[in-house]
Chain A
């Protein structure tokens, strides 16, 4: 009994801790730089959260089974390059062709989900750690993307596509709405589907879950494919906002996604992680990034600071688990 209330307070306090840190951050940066507390700045934060947020969700899913996905950015770039090539070849410059845009988005989704499928298949069937498999996949997809683009940048999109990442609906950036829907969907998948329950159980104890009659191969493949879905959404948002596609886009998202996932309470050993925790961690991270930028803190120092935050949050998490 004692245990139970302890756990509840703990998960509640994890959110609370992040919220307190967010408030602290806002107060600190406002005091240092009053322009931090302005509608313009908050709307810019709301515009930045979705991309990194979608990548973080894509990262969180395999982390829930004790894995990781280092290929998310590379896979998104390959998807976005092929998507762009399809649009370039089917839509004239300055023209508009909504069906072709939809087909190109589906191509991007197919690529990202297929990369996820391959990741899952190799992890599940050959029992190779996800870190190595997805690192290899990162190199494979980056290599292909570089080969296709010869290292260059592709562009040329119809307005129906660029609108996704640059327009707003009722004052709310489109990509923010997309992110909220995607996060809510993941919340439902994790809490209310048999897949989500199995995922958490498998992440906590793979052996017992197998003894319970769970098909771990199919579970792992589906895990990485679901991650691929979120990579695809992130790819579309990112390409649309940047109005370009290249093999090197979003390079610094990878480590940040891992950082935010851990900060948000995802246990790198698997079994533990909540969408809400991710959301609070995202807001905290973005406030911090924007604030440091406003204060014109040296960007190299900022990178070091991120590393300290990652180490600190791992430290706090593991101390609590013990």
Chain B
């Protein structure tokens, strides 16, 4: 095992009211593949930001690079130390070519000298050759498949003397086959001396690729272990701890169909979607990022009009011109990105709760009755037990779970019949997660019809009697969660053999441009 290349000692980090890292001790050794694992909101992303110098740690924390204490890790310092992060969104320039993307950082640091196109192409070709990947350097990144873009992002990192490659959830939108390719390249890079930090919440993949595994929960490091000494079940136990108690306890749903979707299609986003949602039912939609799940949800919410097909509420076809029509019809949508789409962070909780129902809060002269607004907000705060919330505090001061409750309160004030929740527990700590689940069940118990969209197996399995599996814009399976075990469910929703299902549409599969020999995992170093 190599030298310690990065070491954190007693690192703490507070964001507003959130204690994101608690007394973290962590080390990354030269030439290892180190996986960081934990649920959403456990502090994984904060760790990445600390190591890459995006955020400052609290006073009293100690950070070492190559054994030397670093007073303050700045982004430039991390860059010079060879830290390269590949975020989930890849941060590529879609309208530039592959070669330009790969060589981008090289020709930003060379002052005024002109751009040398042959040099750029050569650099790109060299890096791709080292990775043993063949992607046309002249093609535009926006034309590539997600998997190929991932490889371009890696190539871009390698083009500038990377020593530590950090990958944040690199497999979240890849099929199994593409994951295999990625892993073989990662192993290859390790052979060449690179240190790799791999962040994920997929256990099977972690077990497959990691040498050492660090488990995080609620901002703490639970343990760092050698891969050989654990199995999936034990990891799962460490990740969830005892804080969350999953159990299948579905409220009885009625027979009445509330919402029906018939043959809904929209461009390359999704196709031929049909399902029925009953009164008091929690219907699960499980699918990866890019499967069309969010596009479908926003269509039902009136923000993304379909090309064909119908959305029928209580037997009447809806003609939704905007989400105002959907809200008036009784449809509410808790969006995927809470911080951007769900909340106005700088404004107070009260405004965030009442924004959608301001017209109902008018008093004399059409002026807003602030007493009513306040009462309504107070009522929701106690109803949903939003801890430490007051109507006048900015939403940004609340923790993730409580923020999500504020978004839910906003929608509950509109008295919806159908509530769509898109990844509702993204970035929410474990304890808050189960209160969100309890809330969802309680609402369904009162007769509200709920669509729960997620890519987390337990979230769907334990909350939804019925789940639809969405892949490449289609519903490819309907699973009765009561009839299968969790591991069967997990296998059913894995995309290994059927990954070709939606081959007629969607982003180009890009097989022709994919890395040449997917199987060459153990190549010799050059």
Chain A interface (Cβ < 8 Å from any Cβ of B): 1-4, 7, 188, 192-194, 197-198, 200-201, 204-205, 207-215, 271-272
Contact = CB atoms under 8 A, between A and B. Distances in A.
Contact of A4 (B327, B345, B392): B392
19 contacts: A1-B393, A3-B16, A3-B393, A4-B394, A192-B367, A193-B366, A194-B361, A194-B368, A197-B351, A197-B358, A201-B344, A204-B344, A205-B344, A205-B345, A207-B340, A212-B356, A213-B327, A214-B356, A271-B347
A271 B355 contact: no
B34 to A, nearest CB: 33
A272 B368 contact: no
A204 B340 CA distance: 10
B362 interface: yes
Given A192-B368, A194-B368, 5 more contacts: A194-B358, A200-B351, A201-B347, A201-B351, A213-B326
B346 A205 contact: yes
A2 B397 CA distance: 9
A197 B322 contact: no
A210 B397 CA distance: 22
B410 A200 contact: no
A156 to B, nearest CB: 40
Contacts of A210: 303, 323
A188 B355 contact: no
Given A1-B388, A271-B346, A207 B355 contact: no
Nearest to A5: B393
Contacts of B327: 213
A207 B338 CA distance: 11
Given A3-B16, A200-B351, A211-B333, A193 B340 contact: no
Interface string B362-396: 10001110100000000000000000101011101
A204 B368 contact: no
Contacts of B394: 3-4, 7
Contacts of A208: 340-344
Interface in B399-423: 410, 414
A212 B397 contact: no
Nearest to A6: B397
Interface string B163-174: 000000000000
A54 B405 CA distance: 41
A204 B347 CA distance: 7
Contacts of B187: none
A40 B233 CA distance: 85
Nearest to A8: B392
Given A4-B392, A193-B366, A212 B322 contact: no
B490 interface: no
A119 B335 CA distance: 31
Nearest to B361: A194
Nearest to A188: B367
Interface in B163-217: none
Nearest to B388: A1
Contacts of B356: 212-214
B415 to A, nearest CB: 13
B308 interface: no
Contacts of B72: none
A4 B16 CA distance: 11
A194 B359 CA distance: 7
Interface in B313-341: 322-324, 326-327, 333, 335, 340-341
B355 A198 contact: yes
A193 B364 CA distance: 11
Contacts of A198: 355, 358
Contact of A212 (B16, B346, B393, B410): B410
Contacts of A192: 367-368, 370
A213 B323 contact: yes
Interface in B284-316: 303
A198 B397 CA distance: 21
Nearest to A3: B397
A226 B361 CA distance: 22
Nearest to B367: A192
Contacts of B354: 197
Contacts of A7: 394
Contact of A214 (B343, B355, B392): B355
B2 interface: no
Contacts of B410: 212
B17 interface: yes
Contacts of A205: 340, 343-347
Contacts of A214: 355-356
A193 B355 contact: no
Given A193-B367, A194-B358, A201-B355, A215 B347 contact: no
A4 B324 CA distance: 32
B263 to A, nearest CB: 26
The 7 A-B residue pairs with the shortest CB-CB distance, nearest first, are A194-B358, A3-B397, A205-B344, A192-B367, A213-B327, A204-B346, A4-B393
Contacts of A193: 366-368
Contacts of B323: 210-211, 213
> Which among B322, B355, B392 has the greatest number of chain A C-beta atoms within 10 A?
B355
Given A3-B394, A3-B397, A211-B333, A197 B355 contact: yes
> Which among A197, A210, A271 has the greatest number of chain B C-beta atoms within 10 A?
A197
A188 B359 CA distance: 17
A188 B414 CA distance: 26
Contacts of A209: 344, 355
A234 B359 CA distance: 31
A212 B355 contact: yes
> Which among B326, B344, B368 has the greatest number of chain A C-beta atoms within 10 A?
B344
A197 B358 CA distance: 9
A4 to B, nearest CB: 5
Nearest to B354: A197
Nearest to A189: B367
Contacts of B414: 213
Contacts of B397: 1, 3-4
Contacts of B341: 207-208, 211
A211 B342 contact: yes
A4 B344 contact: no
A188 B367 CA distance: 9
Nearest to A1: B388
Contacts of B343: 205, 208
A197 B353 CA distance: 12
A213 B324 contact: yes
Contacts of A201: 344, 347, 351-352, 355
Nearest to B398: A3
Contacts of B366: 193
A271 B366 CA distance: 23
B349 to A, nearest CB: 10
A7 B326 CA distance: 36
A210 B324 CA distance: 9
Contacts of B362: 194
B304 to A, nearest CB: 12
A204 B358 contact: no
A10 B121 CA distance: 53
Contacts of B303: 210-211
A193 B280 CA distance: 36
B376 to A, nearest CB: 13
